[in-house]
Every structure is written in structure tokens, then in C-alpha cells.
Amino acid sequence: MVRIKSLVKNVHIRFSGLSSFVVLVCFMSIGVYGQQDAQYTQYMYNTVSVNPAYAGSRGQISIAALHRSQWVGLDGAPVTQTLNIHSPIGYRGLGLGFSIVNDKIGPTSETNFDVDFSYTIYTSLEGRLSFGLKASANLLDVRFSELNQFGPDQTLQQDIDNRLSPNIGAGVYYHTNKFYAGLSVPRFLETSHFQESSLSTAKEQMNFYFITGYVWDVNQFLKFKPTLLTKLTQGAPLQVDVSANFMFSEKFIVGAAYRWDAAFSGMAGFNVSNKFLIGIAYDRETTELGNAAFNDGSFEVIFRYDFITSKNNLKSPRFF
């Protein structure tokens, strides 16, 4: 998914209230690739979006919906919605998942349709190692009619409507009752959406993810879980997200996170039951963008429901 959808030479966005500073940040140079895949603060509850090997790991049908509004108050800022469902299927070891991710920023909109397959083997009494494959189809829309071009580019005269790009990805995921770690590349194919001769560039890059976390039982009422997510993309700074969450009486969750050189976050969650989780997060930028009067921070909410049919499966709410 192309997060900074295109870096356009001599182009200016026509959005009310959008300052030249943000235009410069988003569109300033040719050949620089910014953040591409959608960004999540509550990635620990949305792991299947970045690692296909997670599909089916919760032991029953699990469905989650997430909404993220980034840089609230800024016209054209990123808005992301995800919906995913995954479950173990058939005989022991197989998992299947399906996801829809819609991501908008400025004049561009992308929708990804993902199908995830996983196979799990037991490495010990509690340890499980999963291998996953992801097949995806990307639909890209770019509305050049919303751009003011100071330097004419004939390649930008016609909007892009539902341009389809297939892709594949893979991942590995290891977990026990208290620990997990995963490595993944959700999209291997680097698709260019413009001709090389164009003044504009929109190219999907491979994103490498590493995710890990551990759950400590502080006492019978309190659990502590630190987590880490790193993302590496060619031409973009290394992204490191570190978070710490506390669960009280297996009901209430509070925590904080830091995105290296980018933002601080606060998180809260509530297990309505052992099936239903509600989580919210708020990010505040530590960059110059965070000090802008029109930026009210980023908000995120997630709902997750597990269709528990047997009390021998998921007996209590889980952190991951």
C-alpha cells in the first residue's frame, strides 16, 4: 500500500486549511519513499494485518474492525479502516483469514483485499510455529483533478480509477501462552503506478516487519505486557514502536507507547466479556507537525469479537 501515494514535482494540493508546511512534508522530493503500509498504534490487536501467519492463532473465529484518523484537523490527512476475520479451518494446523483495508490520504485512496493462509506446527507442549502466505489485490484511485499543477505534466491529466495490482506476501509467527514473535513481508511485489518518464512517482516498496511481546503475571489480578513493532522500508527511516500495557482483573487495559522520533501514545481497552474487546488510542506527534495549530493528534478505535464455542479453547481474555 502506497502510504505517501505519490511524490509530485511542482504540484500543490487544493485543500482548505492545508498549510504549505504539510504540502512540503508530503510532496517535497522525487525519489524519496515515505511510509507506505497503513500505520496502527494498536497493532497488538491487529496482527493479522501485518503477518499472515497469525491467521487462526486465536483458536476460533475472530473478527476485528479498526478505524484510525491521523492528524485530526488537517484536511487530506490519512484515514484508515480495516476489517478482518480469521479462523482455524479443517484439520489441525490450518488457518484462513480475509481482510479489507481502506486507506485515504489527500487525493488518493487505496483498498486492499487480502486472503491469508497459515499452517501451524507444535514445537513443544506450549510452543507453536506458524507459516503464512498472503494473496492480495490492491485498488488505487488518484484524483489529479484535486491538484494544482505549476509545472505541466501530461501524465497527470487523467484520474486513476480502480487500478488493480495483485501482490503476495509471507510471514512466520511463533507463540506460547505468554510470548510471541513474528517476522513478515506483507507485499513482495514492487509495483510502479506511473511511467518512469513521468514527473511523478508512486511505487510500492517491500515493508519488513518484526513484532514481539511478552505477558508477565505480576499477581493474580495484574498482567503486564511490553511489545515491540519494527518496520523497515527502503528509502524511509526505520520505524520502531514500543508499548507497555497493564491488564487489571482481565477486564481493564491501560498503557502507553512511543513511536521512535515520531509520537507518544496513550491506550485503553475494556474486555466487555472473554469474547469482546474494545480498544482506543490517541497519538501526539513529537515532530514539528505536532505543534501545528490545525493538528489535534491521531485517534484510533478497535472492536474485536471471538466466537468462542468451546470453553476448552480461549478461557480468558488475551493480550494477543
What ranges do the domains of the chain cover? 7-307
Does domain 7-307 sit in CATH 2.40.160.40?
yes
pLDDT at 290: 63
pLDDT at 19: 39
The count of C-alpha atoms lying within 13 angstroms of the C-alpha of 267, restricted to the half-sphere facing its C-beta, is: 28
Amino acid identity of residue 317, one-letter, is P
pLDDT at 14: 34
pLDDT at 272: 95
| Residue 130: all three cell numbers together | 506458524
- Which positions ≥6 away from 298 have C-beta within 8 Å? 41, 68, 69, 70, 71, 72, 263, 282, 283, 284, 285
Stretches where the chain sits below pLDDT 50 are 1-35, 195-197, 199
pTM metric for this prediction: 0.83
d(CA 64, CA 135): 19
pLDDT at 149: 60
d(CA 171, CA 164): 23
Angle at 167 between CA 163 and CA 171, to 5 degrees: 150
8 A C-beta contact, residue 39 and residue 82: no
Other Cβ atoms less than 10 A from the Cβ of 119: the count is 15
Amino acid identity of residue 293, one-letter, is A
8 A C-beta contact, residue 213 and residue 319: yes
8 A C-beta contact, residue 155 and residue 295: no
